Structure 1
């Protein structure tokens, strides 16, 4: 099992767009900042576009732009756009119903997982791209 870095990369992408904006940035330029393949960037940008966070324009001078003011985009918005679903997954194939733990573990965990998801989303909802851009500029000086 691995942990996804989609949220972190998407936050990087949008912080870069906000930092460099309003000029459009190419997926190749963004990939250079993230230090990954442009295909990875384009996949995440597609999810961010579906969520209404970014838009693109083709042709010379084209690229990707942030569609909302950085102060109006929270890390929760970004997380929801690229991760979807729950923070924790239950067994995909139900555990053994003949076992006392197997038949009850999922219901025992559901409330705990829901509370953890709510806490994560509440924390991510407190930080906007504007906060991150300010922090990045301070750290870069």
Structure 2
């Protein structure tokens, strides 16, 4: 029942591409930063490529951003990895008991509430750009004590 981590992984990948701009990075290198399998990275990179956020090249050539990071919102990334019209952050359980007062009416009661919550989340994601995320990463890196 966990919410997908694809968005976080995609944001991680885009931030890594920005921070290491000009460096050739393989999916294996990116996967080591994300701490996941390179297949997962390649799958998400394919989604980002299809959405027009990155260009990918097979092999060591790696990937690059298609536009300045300041022009990519978290909503762009969310839609890239969760699909356009992705209104499935919350899902309603299927086939509740129609003989029960709550079971018979729960889906209708929740649909509008979930839709409002989805819209609010998307409005917030639209306000945040990837450069804000990267700036926070770099600021946190400077503030962290070195070992």
Superposed pair shares fold, TM > 0.5: yes
Native 8 Å contact 1:9 1:34 kept in 2 = yes
Q: Deviations over 1:45-96 (max 9, x none)?
A: 111111111111235x5001111210110111111111233210122x3222
Which structure: greater helix fraction?
2
CA contact (8 A) 2:55 2:65 kept: yes
Deviation at 1:3, TM superposition (A): 2.8
TM-score by length of 2: 0.87
* Whole-angstrom distance in 2 between the partners of 1:111 and 1:24: 46
Structure 1 unmatched ranges of 5 or more: none
Which ranges in structure 2 are unaligned for 5 or more consecutive residues? 143-147
Task: Please report the RMSD computed on the Cα atoms of aligned residues, expressed in angstroms.
Answer: 1.5
Counterpart Cα distance in 1 of 2:3 and 2:75: 18
Q: Deviations over 1:79-134 (max 9, x none)?
A: 1111233210122x322222211111101001110111011111111111111111
Query: How many residue pairs end up in the alignment?
Result: 139
Point out 4+ residue stretches in structure 1 off by more than 4 angstroms. Answer: none
Quick check: 1:96–1:102 contact (8 Å CA) kept in 2? yes
